[in-house]
Amino acid sequence: MKAIAYAQNGLPISADDALIDIELPAPTPGPRDLLVEVRAISVNPVDTKIRNGVAVSEPRVLGWDAVGVVRSVGAEVTLFKAGDAVFYAGALDRAGCNSELHVVDERLVGHKPKTLDDAHAAALPLTAITAWELLFDRLGVPEGGGEGDSLLIVGAAGGVGSILVQLARQLTRLTVIGTASRDETRQWVEGLGAHHVIDHHQPLSPQLQALGVGEVTYVASLTHTDSHFEQLVEALRPQGKLALIDDPKTLDVVPMKRKALSLHWELMFTRSLYQTPDMIRQHELLERVSALVDQGVLKTTLGEHFGTINAANLRKAHGLIESAKAKGKVVLEGF
């Protein structure tokens, strides 16, 4: 089968061999696995972080967002059957989905939204899981709750921010404030439903004061947390909550004590990495997201379509992700 991999970490994405086209044998599904024929994928920061930072002794296939059709199922599978159209983000400790065929545990998979084509559905899984877990599990906002409270989303135009804005606006009563620094991304975040958009390149608290919001109850810091941390502590009201998904080199949390602030990490791969008893929650979550899309409550976050799935196009997609100028998700489709 066709696949795209990296054989040496740390190469600049402009190098022709930063990502390469290879041939691999078809994988064999385990007892609870689905064998999926991959139709579309999307690219996430985790792809670029691993390609840059994780050394390999043999080519490694990346990719943690896929849409496809189930070809066969393992002996213990109960949630899906051959022929089902599915979408998922998969597991960090298994081969990625940048290949024609892919195996994935059924507990991490949802049925693809019926109202979206493959490319538009591929934009959703990883970021929808991350945003959902961050908002409802980590920050503990109840669905339908949040009246009188506010959520600041730093980096709202990115992949996770684009779905988090929608979840917060559609499923809670929070006042949603996103950050974006360019006219294009500001319009994107407004179009997703944010009540307000401010510029993260400018001091945050004065902008919140100007909106009449003052201090916020919750912060979702999706990028450059270490650069904004002091301002985020200032922007949070006493007993507020800060959740983050990025990888600050260091983080001195002592300033949070005076306000009795709490810190929450979100990593959507934790359940699969540790085979937690509630791993099936990601299946249930994706089923719910799929239904909300089909009901018109949520919409795709596809920002760019980079053509067919091959090394050249994936190098372009990685380059855009690394530029930190991506809007929504970058998707590729078909081999």
CATH of the domain at 148: 3.40.50.720
The CA distance from 222 to 235, in Å, is: 16
Asked if residue 72 and residue 29 are part of one domain, the reply reads yes
241, 265, 289 - which closes a domain: 265
- pLDDT tens-digit map of 200-213: 999 999 999 999 99
Q: What is the mean pLDDT of the chain?
A: 97
Percent of the chain that is helix, strand, coil (3-state, to 5) = 30, 25, 45
Stated pTM of the model: 0.97
Does residue 273 sit within a domain? Answer: no
CA 335 from centre of chain: 23
Asked if residue 183 and residue 137 are part of one domain, the reply reads yes
Does residue 295 sit within a domain? Answer: no
**Per the structure, how many domains does the chain have?**
2
Does residue 110 sit within a domain? Answer: yes
Tokens of 78: 């109960």
What is the strand order of the sheet 60-61 is part of?
20-23, 2-6, 60-61
Asked if residue 60 and residue 77 are part of one domain, the reply reads yes
- pLDDT tens-digit map of 63-118: 999 999 999 999 999 999 999 999 999 999 999 999 999 999 999 999 999 999 99
Asked if residue 30 and residue 63 are part of one domain, the reply reads yes
Does residue 276 sit within a domain? Answer: no
Does residue 177 sit within a domain? Answer: yes
Q: Please calculate the CA angle 131-133-139 and round it to the nearest 5 degrees.
A: 95
Asked if residue 189 and residue 255 are part of one domain, the reply reads yes
Does residue 294 sit within a domain? Answer: no
Asked if residue 207 and residue 134 are part of one domain, the reply reads yes
Helices (H), the chain: 45-53, 118-122, 125-132, 159-171, 183-192, 204-211, 225-235, 270-273, 281-294, 311-323
Asked if residue 145 and residue 117 are part of one domain, the reply reads no
Domain that residue 38 falls in: 2-124+300-333
Does residue 289 sit within a domain? Answer: no
Tokens of 288: 């719910």
Asked if residue 254 and residue 140 are part of one domain, the reply reads yes
One digit per residue, the tens of pLDDT, for the chain of length 335 reads 999 999 999 999 999 999 999 999 999 999 999 999 999 999 999 999 999 999 999 999 999 999 999 999 999 999 999 999 999 999 999 999 999 999 999 999 999 999 999 999 999 999 999 999 999 999 999 999 999 999 999 999 999 999 999 999 999 999 999 999 999 999 999 999 999 999 999 999 999 999 999 999 999 999 999 999 999 999 999 999 999 999 999 999 999 999 999 999 999 999 999 999 999 999 999 999 999 999 999 999 999 999 999 999 999 999 999 998 889 999 999 99
SS3 160: helix
Does residue 290 sit within a domain? Answer: no
Asked if residue 216 and residue 135 are part of one domain, the reply reads yes
Query: Residue 80: what pLDDT?
Result: 98
Place of tokens 């990495």: 273
Asked if residue 28 and residue 110 are part of one domain, the reply reads yes
248, 265, 282 - which closes a domain: 265
Query: Residue 324: what pLDDT?
Result: 86
The CATH number for 101's domain is: 3.90.180.10
Asked if residue 221 and residue 94 are part of one domain, the reply reads no
CA 281 from centre of chain: 16
Asked if residue 243 and residue 188 are part of one domain, the reply reads yes
Number of residues written out for the chain: 335
Residues paired with 66 in a beta bridge = 41, 88
213, 247, 265 - which closes a domain: 265
- pLDDT tens-digit map of 253-273: 999 999 999 999 999 999 999
Residue 27: name the closest of 103, 94, 82 by CA: 103
